[in-house]
Amino acid sequence: MKIVINVTVNQKNYELAVEPNMTLVDMLREELRLTGTKKGCGLGECGACTILLDGQPVSSCVMLAVEAHNRKIVTIEGLETEKGLHPIQQAFVEKGAIQCGFCTSGMVLSAKALLDDHPHPDEQDIRKAISGNLCRCTGYQKIVEAVQSVSEGEQTS
């Protein structure tokens, strides 16, 4: 028996009928076709499925969709601005913080949550904020540099 939930995703309201055991990542990908949220480990360990729930990063693979009832969700698709990429996304591009891209959406959203709460973090704060997101390509340094560049107000092209 499906359960009706109301969620706000990327500032749009939805009423969805979901199975009680459907994960939030599956709801986003399958019901709303927001495929920027990646399915990685399925255990909440890799961070590929990170989204912002009421402004806080969460692993959407270990959260049920019904738990998001009456909550606000931001996915990577929700960061785009009228001018194009969000400054964090632009910094990732400019600093070479993207390689295969699998971890990128989770990294960007974790960085956004950090900068929203703490606009001028030091390197240790950044590394702690992204510690729940695994990257097998970049070695993290360029990711840290990208987040630092946004916190320091570097102009992006």
CATH number where 98 lies: 1.10.150.120
What CATH number is associated with residue 7? 3.10.20.30
Angle between helical axes of 87-94 and 141-151 (0-180°, round to 10): 130
Give the span between the Cα atoms of 2 and 66, in whole angstroms: 10
The arithmetic mean of pLDDT across residues 47-55, rounded, is 97
Task: Work out how many domains the chain is built from and give that number.
Answer: 2
The arithmetic mean of pLDDT across residues 65-85, rounded, is 95
Of 44, 78, 112, the domain-final residue? 78
pTM: 0.92
Asked whether the predicted pLDDT for residue 157 surpasses 50, the reply is no
Sign of the Cα torsion 36, 40, 45, 46 reads: negative
Instruction: Tell me the pLDDT tens digit for each residue of 116-153.
Output: 999 999 999 999 999 999 998 877 999 999 999 999 88
User: Is 96 found in the same domain as 45?
Assistant: no
User: Is 91 found in the same domain as 60?
Assistant: no
